[in-house]
Amino acid sequence: MRGDTDETRTRAVSVLESNRRDGYTIPSATLYPFQWNWDSAFVAVGLVRADPAAAKREIRTLLDAQWRNGMVPQIAFWSDAEGYFPGPEEWGIAADRTGGTVRTSGITQPPMVVPAARHVYERTGDESFRDAVLPALRDYCEWWRTERSDDGELVWVRHPWATGMDDSPAWRGPLERFDPGDVEYVREDRKDEDFAAQRPTDWDYDRYVALVRQGRAVDWDEKRLREESPFVVEDVLTNALYVRACESLSEMFADAGDEEQAEEWDAQADATRRALRERRWDDELGLYVSHDLVSDEPLSVPSVAGLLPMLAGVPDDYQRERLRETLSAFLAYDRVVPSYVGPDVDYDRYWRGPVWQNTNWLLERGLRRVGFDEAAARVREDSVSLIESEGFREYFNPETGAGRGSDRFSWSAALYLDWTADDPLSVPDR
């Protein structure tokens, strides 16, 4: 069996090498030809197992696209984007926002880059890497706290793409609230008939594009967008990763001997963790839910995102036991963990049911953090099995195990390297 694993690891390295560009890794050649924020973070987590220097450069290249205000954008267009939609012209972001020449999108993604940088540092022990990235990571976490939080505790996003789980049924309510009008554009992501049925609908995309154009119209003024945008959501996954980002930042500062900064970011992690525990728990569903700040109502949807606060050490004893009960619905599949288990499930459509390697990786670590080791082992076993049977697909059908979406997908290859390492780091330090 180890021979099969070794062969698959060799193929994983090959996928990452073929998707490597000048200092970064594209998610896939099929649909995603640039650098994506949290994709690069997950790539670095696994790439450090095969090529530590490339993993460090992956993180540093992403941070090279950081805006002057601290935001790390969702997409960095390091190469020609002709024919891609929405490209840099659609976003309308001047390159001088980054202090360099790269153009970017106008939104961010969950702050996975911070724990990923901590992970790379753990694996390499490279203090020069740690010291080089710490200022940018601090500025990113500070940007979340000052630009994307109403209370200094929970943070919000203003576009479904910024959640990483853009097609989740959780966003149906906020998106239904506004009429995008006549939005003209040409979709590049549905030209392949095999992908078309798996991607978000035109109804969804009309609203995605309208939100982009609203941001461009006000030159991405965060204050105005907070007041005027119809989509302002405290996303539970983003907040869970924000806690882990603050923890990781604290840990790295402590390693660097800066106790003042270590204490500050540890306190921030505690504040956001407590807010998730006290304000975003849905007892009927038995998990945590996102919150629509425009309508001031919970988005009570049974998504895998609602389990991920375990990664941040959020649950109290009662919530922990309720989560144990809730897990049964997510584990009642031949292959786990589905991204959604509610009435709008579609096992072949993006975030409406398929299994994703990145959320499985986050969940497995969260399960171990709260002591659910048996469930964690199941998640790891199924994640490895899916790749070994179907290849490095973008996502997988939880009932049949069939690989779906793009093939030779980078984070699936990278996380396989971490899943099957001889000494996987499965439990956060806390």
Rounded to 5°, angle at Cα 341 from 335 and 344 = 125
Residue type, 101: T
User: Are 147 and 69 spatial neighbours (Cβ–Cβ below 8 Å)?
Assistant: yes
- Looking at the DSSP bridge assignments, the partners of residue 355 are 338, 396
Please tell me the distance from the alpha carbon of residue 161 to that of residue 317, in angstroms, as a whole number: 33
Catalytic residue among 64, 390, 394, 418: 394
Catalytic residue among 166, 204, 348, 388: 166
* Helix-helix angle 236-255:113-124, to 10 degrees: 40
Catalytic residue check, 264: no
Q: Which tokens belong to 196? A: 């078309």
User: Are 71 and 147 spatial neighbours (Cβ–Cβ below 8 Å)?
Assistant: yes
Q: Which of 302, 389, 390 is nearest to 351 (CA)?
A: 302
Catalytic residue check, 6: no
Please tell me the distance from the alpha carbon of residue 217 to that of residue 414, in angstroms, as a whole number: 38
Please tell me the distance from the alpha carbon of residue 332 to that of residue 56, in angstroms, as a whole number: 38
* Helix-helix angle 127-147:113-124, to 10 degrees: 160
User: What b/e sequence results for 166-178 when a residue is b if at least 16 CB atoms lie within 10 Å of its CB, and e otherwise?
Assistant: bbbbbbebbbeee
- Enumerate the active-site residues: 166, 394
